[in-house]
């Protein structure tokens, strides 16, 4: 989509709505100069501003951008990394490092999640193969220096039981990996509220350093993509849960598992940076 076309459509719909540039700017929380630059094709509004503008002008995002999916969510904004390349990367280091559980989990996970997809963004109709998520987690963990076979295998399998209705006993891995997967699989306990079940769930994870590491890497990956996937209300709730349960897990790991100190530092840095950035953006809305 040509930047000039987007600018022209904003101008046309602004005028049709009987708004001046100043009025649109005021309602969108930007300067009149910014609106002028958009309409003249000098600058392109970011996706958040486009959503706000579309709402103000009583139109849709696609009406302003036409091929917005292709324009805004191509390349790295569509998905961070290609799942086929990540699959090859995980298989390669698992073979080189003789990680038997990881190799077994890799193929099993791919088969079980076959045909499952995640929506890439609330602004797009594109879908991403579900395995992109566990593969990205495994690559992230390995890049952080985590080479423990049981952790990497559990990362690959962490959603299999919950999302494919697979019995934990059939996972083709060691008992240790099954235990980690069991701990990170959330279930509402019969007779308990969701909040109480969640507190019990995180308490169990906190007692196992490997399960804790799997969970914080999972949350780091989800937080990294949630701003494009979650509505504001869900964003705020997810941030609250992360601060209530995940940040304390990082502290516990730092104090009890010095072998993971470097990984914990980097994950904590990424998580808190993302959370504070998203909180700042939410507070401006």
What is the set of active-site residues?
162-163
Q: Angle at Cα 121 formed by Cα 162 and Cα 45, nearest 5°?
A: 160
Output the six-digit token pair for 125: 């109709």
Decide: residue 51, CB within 10 A, 0-12 exposed, 13-18 middle, 19+ buried: middle
SS3 string, the chain, reads: CCHHHHHHHHHHHHHHCCCCHHHHHHHHCCCHHHHHHHHCCCCCCCHHHHHHHHHHCCCCHHHHHCCHHHHHCCHHHCCCCCHHHHHHHHHHHHHHCCCHHHHHHHHHHHHHCCCCEEECCCCCCCEEECCHHHHHHHHHHHHCCCCCHHHHHHHHHCCHHHHHCCCHHHCCCCHHHHHHHHHHCCCCCCCCCHHHHHHHHHHHHHCCHHHHHHHHHHHHHHHHHHHHHCCHHHHHHHHHHHHHHHHHHHHHHHHHCHHHHHHHHHHHHHHHHHHHHHHHHHHHC
Q: Measured between alpha carbons, how far is 111 from 131 in angstroms, rounded to an integer?
A: 10
Are residues 120 and 126 in contact, defined by beta-carbon separation less than 8 angstroms? yes
């Amino acid at each position: 989509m040509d930047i000039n076309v987007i600018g022209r459509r904003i101008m046309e719909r602004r005028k049709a709505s009987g708004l001046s540039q100043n009025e649109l700017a005021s309602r969108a929380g930007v300067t009149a100069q910014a609106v002028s630059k958009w309409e003249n094709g000098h600058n392109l509004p970011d996706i958040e501003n486009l959503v706000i503008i579309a709402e103000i002008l009583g139109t849709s995002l696609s009406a302003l951008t036409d091929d917005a999916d292709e324009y805004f969510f191509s390349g790295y904004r569509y998905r961070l990394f290609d799942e086929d390349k990540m699959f090859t990367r995980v298989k390669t280091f698992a073979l080189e490092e003789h990680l038997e559980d990881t190799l077994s989990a890799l193929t099993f996970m791919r088969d079980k999640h076959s045909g499952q997809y995640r929506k890439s963004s609330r602004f797009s109709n594109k879908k991403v193969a579900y395995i992109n998520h566990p593969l990205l987690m495994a690559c992230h963990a390995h890049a952080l220096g985590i080479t423990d076979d049981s952790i990497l295998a559990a990362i690959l399998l962490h959603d299999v039981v919950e999302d494919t209705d697979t019995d934990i006993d059939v996972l083709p891995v060691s008992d240790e990996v099954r235990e980690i997967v069991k701990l990170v699989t959330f279930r509402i306990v019969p007779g308990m509220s969701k909040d109480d079940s969640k507190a019990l769930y995180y308490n169990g994870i906190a007692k196992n350093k490997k399960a804790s590491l799997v969970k914080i890497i999972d949350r780091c990956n989800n937080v990294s993509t949630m701003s494009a996937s979650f509505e504001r209300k869900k964003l705020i709730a997810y941030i609250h849960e992360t601060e209530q349960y995940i940040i304390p897990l990082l502290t516990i790991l730092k104090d009890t598992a010095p072998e993971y100190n470097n990984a914990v530092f980097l994950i904590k840095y990424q998580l808190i940076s993302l959370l504070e950035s998203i909180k700042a953006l939410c507070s401006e809305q």
